[in-house]
Amino acid sequence: MSSTPGIDALLTVIRCPACHGSLRAAPHSPDDVDRFECSRCTTRWPLRFGIPDLRATGVTDPYLSIDEDLRAAEGLYQRAMTGGFAEALAAYYRTNEHVSADQSRHFIAATLAAEDRSRAVLSSWRARARMGDAGRLTLLDAGCGTGPLLVAAASPNVNLVGIDVGLRWLVLAAARLRDRGVTGHLACAGTDHLPLASASVDIVASESLIENVPSADAMLSEAARVLGPGGRLWLTTANRWSMGPDPHVRMPFGSWLPNRLVAAWATRRGMVPPRRRLLDARDLRRLLEEGGFRDVCIEPPPIAEAQVAGSSRLVRLAVGGYRATARSAMGRAVLSAIGPSLLCVATKP
C-alpha cells in the first residue's frame, strides 16, 4: 500500500478494534486488497473503497450479511463517484428489493433532510452542555450512517470521526462529505468494539442508534472508554412511549406494541421489520448512570423545518403544538414522557 496524506492522517486516529494497538500499512498481498496491520497483535484489516473495514469477530449488520453489505457498497461506490451523494442514495433504494416503494420514499426524504435535523440537534446539545471555547476537539459520530451529523459539526476546530457497522452507509457518507467539502475520518466497525484509543475523544455523539445496537450497555461502555475525563456524551433516541407513529415503520402507536406485532404489521405491508429496543426517559437515564455518566439531562429535541417540508397541514399543526409545548419546563416534561424522541447530554467524570 502506498502512503498518502489521507491514509497517514487516518492512521493517527484509528486503532485495532481487537487490542487497541496502532495500525500501519500492511505489505502488499497477493489478492491486491490493501490492508492495515496491527503493530501489537498483527491482525490485518482490509481497506475497502478507501474505508478501513474494522469489524471485529461477531460484529454484524442487523439487516445485511457481510457479503450483501459489500455488494451494496460496491454498487454505491461506483454510482457515487459519477453522480454524487443524492443520486447514489436514490439509486440504492430504487434497486433495493427488500424495501417497499413507500418506505423508500420515506427513507430518501428523511436522509436528505437529515443535515438540517442534525444542525438543530447539535445546537441543542451544545446549549445544554454549556460548552464554551474548548479549543480543538475530536468528535466521534457513533453510528454515523450517511454522515449528516459530520457535515453539521464540521468546523476548523473539530476533528471529525465517523464509525458505522454498515460499509454501504459509509460509502454514502464519504460521498456526502465530498459533496459538502467536509474532511473527516471514516471507519467500518461496531460501536461495541470502537477502533479508537482510550481517552482519545472529547465528544461521542450518536443520533438514533442506541435503540438499534445489540447491547446498549456495551455501546455506553465503549463510549466511556474512548472519552477523556470530562468528555461529553450526546444522544438522541426514539421514545418508547411516543404518542405518535412508530419511528421506523410509521405504524400508529407502534412503539407501544411488542416488536413481534410491529414486525408482522410491517411484513404484511412489504416493509423491512425494525430490529430495536426502544427506551423511555427513565430507561435511558438508568443506563447512563449505571454506565458511570453524570450530569444527565434528557429533554425533547427540536424539530427542524426540513423535517416537515412537504408535510400535510395536520402534521404542521402538530409540529406547531410540539414547539409551543416545548417552551415551558412543564411542557418539556410532558414531551419527554410521550413525545416522539429524546435528546440527552451526559458527562464522563
- Summarize pLDDT for 248-273 with one digit per residue, the tens: 898 999 999 999 999 999 999 888 89
For residue 337, pLDDT over 90 is answered with yes
- According to the model, what pLDDT value does residue 2 have? 43
For residue 304, pLDDT over 80 is answered with yes
For residue 134, pLDDT over 80 is answered with no
Is 89 within a domain? no
Beta bridge partners, 9, equal none
In eight-state DSSP terms, residue 239 is B
Residues 166 and 277 in one domain: yes
Q: Which domain holds residue 204?
A: 106-298+341-347
Between 208 and 28, residue with greater pLDDT? 208
Give dist(CA 168, CA 172) in Å, integer: 7
Residues 119 and 238 in one domain: yes
Residues 21 and 163 in one domain: no
| 36 CB neighbour count, 10 Å cutoff | 26
Is 190 within a domain? yes
**CATH number of the domain encompassing residue 193:** 3.40.50.150
Residues 198 and 266 in one domain: yes
Residues 124 and 42 in one domain: no
Q: How confident is the model at residue 3 (pLDDT cuts 50, 70, 90)?
A: very low
Q: Which whole number is the average pLDDT over 88-94?
A: 91
Q: State residue 4 phi and psi, 5-degree precision.
A: -130, 160
Give dist(CA 235, CA 222) in Å, integer: 14
Q: Which cell numbers in the block locate residue 249?
A: 415503520
Residues 28 and 151 in one domain: no
Residues 187 and 255 in one domain: yes
For residue 163, pLDDT over 60 is answered with yes
Residues 13 and 124 in one domain: no
Is 327 within a domain? no
- Number of domains present in the structure of the chain: 2
Is 70 within a domain? no
Residues 124 and 242 in one domain: yes
Residues 31 and 122 in one domain: no
Provide the mean pLDDT of the chain: 92
- According to the model, what pLDDT value does residue 313 have? 87
Residues 18 and 151 in one domain: no
pTM of the model: 0.93
Is 308 within a domain? no
- Beta pairing, strands 137-142 & 158-164: parallel
Minimum mean pLDDT range among 109-113, 261-265, 271-275, 312-316: 312-316
